[in-house]
Structure 1
Amino acid sequence: MLNTADSYTALRTTAGVYHRAGEVMRLTGLHRGRLLTWMLAKQSEFAEPGTVLESLVLDDEGAVDGVALVVFDDESIIVVSDCATPLLHVATSAIDALQLVDTHAQQEEDFGYAIAVEGPVSWKVGDGLTDEDMSEILLNEWRRGSLDGKECILIRIGTTAEYGYVVLTSSAAGPSSMKELTARAREVDGGEIDPLVLRRAQAEVNHPVLPVQALGLSIFEAGIQWMATPNRDDEYRGRNAIRLLPPTRRIVAASTAGEDFPLEGQEVTDEGTPIGVVKVSTPRAGQDTGFGLLLLDIPYCVPGLTLTAGGQTVRTLARPAVDPVSWTQQIGV
């Protein structure tokens, strides 16, 4: 595994590989779509086979429970989830509670191991897994393929604003598939990354850093309502606790010059006046600046302010706080 500095460099300049931890389940039956829409915070009933979506998962009290990556096929749905409450248990309970006849949720084995590959040349790592040119696979689409002689699913999706893919292989083949994709990443000067650096790479581009970013906050305060459909009028888990009210505090990105970012929970002040707390502190990962997220009272949650957090000077800034290479470098070039 690469150290934190090299891990960050791989994500931003080449390709970083990591195991996308969590559970994988398959939904089948007549009402699998209804089951899915009840479990997710984002609407999914109009999703087409061959596509994927990512959604927040809420608990019964409307708090963020985790996130789910959903793969839509003609006859079934695969859900890759990372939640505080096991989503398979939620699904089986909901089948009974909602009386969803001929609907089933079970642990996935054939594609039960998820491996993420992210970075501006991550497409080179996935090249050849399918018969299709990598440039033809659009964001939020998936294809069947083969890795090391075994069937896999290649999904185009990412969390760092660089190109990104998730490869689903069988639970049994997962570790060997991880080694194979890591070897491919090393060929382009990348490798297996330390997952801790994802905090920084994701926070820089406004991807949710879960669970810490959402702890104790509404989805609006946490700034992650874009991963949900909060104005839905159908029934879904956690809906009764959603309040469509303007927040009085918000998340804003900030940096420190030449030092690590203050620890989470440190008070943030403006000329001695308390205005918020450090919500997310990310690894410096060999960079000149520290980086993190502050939870600040309105109207302080704007870029361009110089504040104090835990005795350190922090400066708020707009996101994306980096210039992703993938925005100007085409796949295949």
Structure 2
Amino acid sequence: MKKTPLYDNHLALNGKMIEFGGWLLPVEYTGILEEHRQVREAAGLFDVSHMGEILVRGRDAGAFLQELLTNDLSKAPDSKVIYSPMCYENGGVVDDLLVYKYADDHYLLVVNAANTDKDFAWIKDHLSGHVEAVNVSDAWAQLAIQGPNAEKILQEVTDFPLSGIRFYSFIPDVMVCGVQAMVSRTGYTGEDGFELYIPADKAPKVWESLLELGRALGLVPVGLGARDTLRFEAALPLYGHELSAEITPLEAGLGAFVKLDKDSFIGKDALLNQHNQGLKRRLAGFEMVGRGIPRSGYDIADNGSRIGFVTSGSYSPSLGKNLGLAMMDSRYCQPGTEFDVIIRNKAVRAKVIEIPFYRKKYRK
């Protein structure tokens, strides 16, 4: 198993370690529900150093990424972060990722941890023009601070005016806790927050300083368990669940990030065809009417006939309900439509509701 530079810090905090995508990571410290609520009400600090980073540079880097990704990077200014799926020719998803644009010839791709090697191989196989791709994942550590107090806490350890960083933007060089960092404002929780990209060997210093200085404002370390319930409530996709090689971004409700009017990109023909024919299935949110928690992979049925499957499901700590996301027959996706979730061979009633389940009002 791989370990992040903060492995010993997690043990010192009594983090419960589990295997995730080939990494040993903390699933919780004091408890998933408590950590979840702390992020919603104050702030949480996440170790996301397992995420992959791939540097793409060269004169033709922009044109190469335009062909590789479904989103449109052509009008993106420097210091902008762009979210995009990366697809196979058949429209299935290789990965979903963030593109950090430093300049027209300089980009950093942040990819899902378990997909880093696969993504890097895919990128190398499709290189064209004057472009270089380098997997720099081992050089970086990544911390995320999320929650309503995130800006106030982080401002305590930097002189840079954080209020000037707009949503989905970044600043390449910011001193944080005396360490040079790249600071962005994206997040994966439904709350405001920042990501800190720092040299791997500096991660313990920044982690410890933030937790110490932020304690008075409610900052706590948060594990993978609450990270998942937080992103789930905000209906943010998780690769391998709402997205996969078998699920297209259009089916996953990510049409806003698929620019079918671009000249070309890998997977365009398949996605355009799917768009023109109409989606036979798509992602929908639901709440349980009967008792039971829906889990990933559970079948969804109507009168005994399978109409889809659960992609993610959980008790929602913020809403106090058992909720789920499902890939299902489009005819059943209207809010209020009822169906059955098959839980341990028993049909339990559920109904479609709008997503995201949780919507926080904060400045973007």
CA–CA distance in structure 1, aligned partners of residues 269 and 235 of structure 2: 27
CA–CA distance in structure 1, aligned partners of residues 102 and 74 of structure 2: 13
1:145/1:94 CA distance change after superposition, 3 Å:
same
CA–CA distance in structure 1, aligned partners of residues 232 and 82 of structure 2: 20
Q: CA deviation at 1:202?
A: 2.2
Cα deviations across residues 263-310 of structure 1 (Å, max 9, x unaligned)?
A: 333232345554332222235558631121122223211222333212
**Are 1:228 and 2:283 an aligned pair?**
no
Tell me the secondary structure at the aligned position of residue 121 of structure 2. helix
1:7 aligned residue (31, 35, 42): 35
CA–CA distance in structure 2, aligned partners of residues 202 and 233 of structure 1: 33
Match of residue 132 from structure 1: 160
Q: CA deviation at 1:158?
A: 1.8
CA–CA distance in structure 2, aligned partners of residues 303 and 133 of structure 1: 43
User: Which structure shows the higher helix fraction?
Assistant: 2
Q: Which amino acid is 2:258 matched to?
A: A
Q: Which amino acid is 1:268 matched to?
A: I
CA–CA distance in structure 2, aligned partners of residues 54 and 240 of structure 1: 21
Match of residue 3 from structure 2: none
1:35/1:274 CA distance change after superposition, 3 Å:
closer
Unaligned runs of 5+ in 1: none
Match of residue 291 from structure 1: 323
Tell me the secondary structure at the aligned position of residue 319 of structure 1. coil
Match of residue 55 from structure 1: 84
1:2/1:146 CA distance change after superposition, 3 Å:
farther
- For residues 95-134 of structure 1, the aligned pairs below 5 Å read 95=127, 98=128, 100-101=129-130, 103-108=131-136, 112-128=140-156, 130-134=158-162
Q: Which amino acid is 1:79 matched to?
A: L
Tell me the secondary structure at the aligned position of residue 209 of structure 2. helix
Tell me the secondary structure at the aligned position of residue 173 of structure 1. helix
Q: Which amino acid is 2:96 matched to?
A: V
Q: Which amino acid is 2:307 matched to?
A: I
TM-score w.r.t. length of structure 1: 0.85
Q: Which amino acid is 2:35 matched to?
A: S
Unaligned runs of 5+ in 2: 1-28
Q: CA deviation at 1:50?
A: 1.7
2:237 aligned residue (180, 197, 208): 208
Match of residue 316 from structure 1: 352
Q: CA deviation at 1:157?
A: 0.9
Tell me the secondary structure at the aligned position of residue 138 of structure 1. coil
Q: Which amino acid is 1:51 matched to?
A: K
CA–CA distance in structure 2, aligned partners of residues 283 and 181 of structure 1: 30
Match of residue 181 from structure 1: 210
CA–CA distance in structure 1, aligned partners of residues 318 and 72 of structure 2: 39
Does the 8 Å contact 1:16/1:185 carry over to 2? no
Tell me the secondary structure at the aligned position of residue 198 of structure 1. helix
- For residues 22-171 of structure 1, the aligned pairs below 5 Å read 22-74=51-103, 76-82=106-112, 84=115, 85-95=117-127, 98=128, 100-101=129-130, 103-108=131-136, 112-128=140-156, 130-143=158-171, 144-171=173-200
Match of residue 333 from structure 2: 301
Q: CA deviation at 1:109?
A: 6.9
TM-score w.r.t. length of structure 2: 0.78
1:265/1:106 CA distance change after superposition, 3 Å:
closer
Match of residue 191 from structure 1: 220
CA–CA distance in structure 2, aligned partners of residues 10 and 176 of structure 1: 23
1:251 aligned residue (264, 274, 283): 283
Q: Which amino acid is 1:49 matched to?
A: D
Task: Give the root-mean-square deviation of aligned CA atoms.
Answer: 2.8
Cα deviations across residues 22-60 of structure 1 (Å, max 9, x unaligned)?
A: 211222221121222233221112211121112112234
CA–CA distance in structure 2, aligned partners of residues 276 and 269 of structure 1: 7
Does the 8 Å contact 1:257/1:288 carry over to 2? no
Match of residue 276 from structure 1: 308
Relative contact order (alpha carbons < 8 A, sep ≥ 6): 1 or 2 greater?
1
Tell me the secondary structure at the aligned position of residue 242 of structure 2. helix
Does the 8 Å contact 1:113/1:169 carry over to 2? yes
Does the 8 Å contact 2:290/2:349 carry over to 1? no
Q: Identity of aligned pairs, percent?
A: 19
CA–CA distance in structure 2, aligned partners of residues 224 and 184 of structure 1: 38
CA–CA distance in structure 1, aligned partners of residues 139 and 256 of structure 2: 28
Cα deviations across residues 110-141 of structure 1 (Å, max 9, x unaligned)?
A: 97222222222221232145533222221121
Tell me the secondary structure at the aligned position of residue 89 of structure 1. helix
Does the 8 Å contact 2:285/2:325 carry over to 1? yes
Q: Which amino acid is 1:114 matched to?
A: Q
